Amino acid sequence: IYLKCFKMKIEYIPHPNLIIQKKYLKNFDIKDSRNNNLKLLYFGPVLKYKGIEILIEVMNELIDMPIELLVAGVCDEKLRINLIKKNKNKNVSFVFKYFNVEEIEPLFKKNDLCIYPFDKRSVLNSSSVILAFSNERTVLCPFISTLNDYNTNIYFIQESPC
């Protein structure tokens, strides 16, 4: 009975959609190479538990592939130095800064796919994933709780072979 009463008092409120209003946008100068490379974007706070180091290691293995990665977001000095040292791929670039609202949409539009290599043990939700969806970008990330807010016809789940 107690659980039933408790459930009646809980309300589900999904994450807000963060679509940017076009009239506030202006051009933002991010390197926009006009080649046929697949352009990946990690956008959001660059924190150790977000898996960026693993992403850099993978990009180092793909050094001869036509794939570019832009890591964009605020980052502390220690992690910034570590990521730059780990990177051996000329197709990986970093913009460590806070992005204003008018800078966000052009950043997303210049990239093909957003990638978030989250560790599911430490990341439950991500506003960066919501922002990517809001900017009409395909997202590659593990199945985290944020995806429960969306209809299942906009994503697919690849089962782990392990």
User: pLDDT tens-digit profile of 86-118?
Assistant: 999 999 999 999 999 889 889 999 999 999 887
Q: How many CA atoms lie within 13 A of 115 on its CB side?
A: 21
The pLDDT of residue 117 is: 84
Evaluate the CA torsion angle 22, 154, 15, 8 in order and state its sign: positive
Task: Per-residue pLDDT tens, the chain, 162 aa: give them.
Answer: 555 655 566 666 665 555 444 444 444 444 555 678 999 999 999 998 888 999 999 999 999 999 999 999 999 999 999 999 999 999 999 999 999 988 988 999 999 999 988 777 777 677 888 788 888 888 888 777 777 676 665 566 666 554
Geometric angle at alpha carbon 134, from 128 and 138, rounded to 5°? 75
Residue 113's DSSP bridge partners are 40, 138
Give Cα 48 distance to the centre of its chain: 14
Give pTM, 2 decimals: 0.76
Cα radius of gyration (the chain):
18
